[in-house]
A and B are shown apart, each in its own frame.
Chain A
Amino acid sequence: MAAEQTATGYIQHHLQNLAYGKLPAGYTRADGTVLSESTWTIAHSSQEAADMGFWAVHLDTLGWSIGLGMIFCFLFARAAKKATAGVPTGFQSFVEVIVDFIDKTVKDTFPHRNSMVAPMALTIFVWVFLMNLMDLVPVDWLPMAYAQGVSALTGADPHHVYFKVVPTTDLNATLGMALAVFALMIFFSVKEKGLVGFVKELTLHPFHSGKWYIDIFLIPFNFLLEAVSLIAKPVSLGLRLFGNLYAGEMIFILIAIVFGVGVLGFIGAGLLQMGWAIFHILVITLQAFVFMVLTTVYMAMAHDREDEHAHDH
């Protein structure tokens, strides 16, 4: 924590993503300059990032998530390429333990035939875990290094350089994945049951009398209930991961503030950070697992046929 910053400023700085977007003409920037025409630029303050609206990207979130995803793909693809049916050694056995674990979990929760679900579960588990793992890197290291590097290269004020390292503490990332899962849910629902079957599922459950003249009046209620429960799935999926990691990150930031409070504070914060980090190892693994299992369960629900579905009620 830099001495000239307030605690609030420090926290806010840590919670702001590296946003790249368009600022309109005549916009007064953080340093007081006024833009003569609309410009694509990197936000220099939280206000600027907010003013960019929807048409902006978080370069740090995308950069880290894509980078970590590529590490996952590279490592696993290399293991897959080198894998032999003989005695597995080293990294191969490690990868196989994970694959076996995912395969068993998916088989337990997903009884249908779809070759995509298990690899998706593997991707989610490892990728989300890697993204969460960035939370264990001390909160200041990478943002500080990045800010110092940028200011050394461009002369920018390091306090206006934002950099978040943990993609899963960005709601965009978690909701983005949840949205993709949602799209797949609808895709497989329609594919398995047909459009009519899917609409029937949304309108004829859970209230169903068997007489069409009563059912017609039940349709709005059914649709309301089913739509809410359908939409609640991706939203809760994304928010759960985000909430857990955001809260964890926040606590790391708060502990980091305590480091500046005297010798006692330094020692206390060190112990606290260690304790929280150890506990957090559990949290990040668990959250990656939960995201994976729920995705698999939602896929299974999407594959459930209407007649099977009826048995549940």
Chain B
Amino acid sequence: MNINLTLIGQSITFLAFVWFCWKFVWPALLGVMQEREQKIATGLQEAERAEKDLELAQRKAVEQLKEAKAQAAEIIDGANKRANQIVDEAKEAARSEGDRLKAAAQAEIEQEVNRAKEQLRSRIAALSVAGAEKILSVNIDAKAHDDMIEKLAAEL
């Protein structure tokens, strides 16, 4: 076991390797590792933000859905009401039309009746005059008895 020049040689070798590592190995490796660390940190941050965004979006979607449902219900409600209204209106219109038709028919009938009565009256006047002529065998002055016949006819 001799102490000799190897001692100095080893010292120089040591310093040379340290220098090499200091200049060419360490900064490059550590730089890359720090860069990756940064990347991972941003990635995690972004993931967190995305998660938050997703949650927000989900909440918003639920809200919108609820709103849409409410709106739909409202619309259906309105439509139902409108439909009812239309049916009611139609019923009303039908009823009034029916009434109108009935009234018109009745009026016509009445008119017909009146006309028939008129005809009958005039026919009765003639008939009664003719009957009375035959009964009395005389000519009755129609004009003279007009008033009486009129009254008779009106009594019909």
Report if A and B associate in a common complex.
yes
Show the binding face of A for B, using Cβ within 8 Å.
Answer: 15, 17, 19, 21, 49-50, 52-58, 61-62, 65-66, 69, 72-73, 76-77, 79-81, 83-86, 88, 95-96, 99-100, 103, 115-116, 118-120, 122-124, 127, 167, 170-173, 175-177, 179-180, 183
In the complex, what residues of A have CB within 8 A of residue B9's CB? Answer: 57, 62, 172, 176
Inter-chain CA distance A70–B52, complex, in Å, is 52
Chain B residue total in the interface (Cβ 8 A): 32
Identify whether the interface residues of A are mostly helix, strand, loop, or mixed.
Answer: helix
Known: A65-B10, A173-B10. A57 touches B30 (CB 8 A): no
Q: Which residues in chain B, 1-16, are within 8 Å of chain A measured between CB atoms?
A: 1-15
In the complex, what residues of B have CB within 8 A of residue A175's CB? Answer: 3, 7, 10
In the complex, what residues of A have CB within 8 A of residue B11's CB? Answer: 176-177, 179-180, 183
Inter-chain CA distance A17–B4, complex, in Å, is 11
Q: B9 to chain A: closest CB distance in Å?
A: 5
Inter-chain CA distance A159–B39, complex, in Å, is 60
Q: Are B8 and A73 in contact (CB under 8 A)?
A: no
Q: Are A123 and B21 in contact (CB under 8 A)?
A: yes
Contact with A77, one of B5, B12, B25 (Cβ below 8 angstroms): B25
Inter-chain CA distance A77–B22, complex, in Å, is 11
Q: Are A80 and B33 in contact (CB under 8 A)?
A: no
In the complex, what residues of B have CB within 8 A of residue A56's CB? Answer: 2, 4-6
* Total A-B pairs, Cβ < 8 A: 140
Closest to A116 in B: B22
Q: Are B4 and A55 in contact (CB under 8 A)?
A: yes
A-B contact pairs, 27 of them (CB 8 A): A19-B2, A19-B4, A52-B4, A53-B2, A56-B5, A62-B13, A65-B10, A65-B13, A66-B13, A76-B29, A80-B24, A83-B28, A86-B36, A96-B29, A115-B22, A118-B26, A120-B21, A123-B14, A123-B18, A124-B18, A127-B17, A170-B6, A172-B7, A172-B10, A176-B11, A176-B13, A177-B10
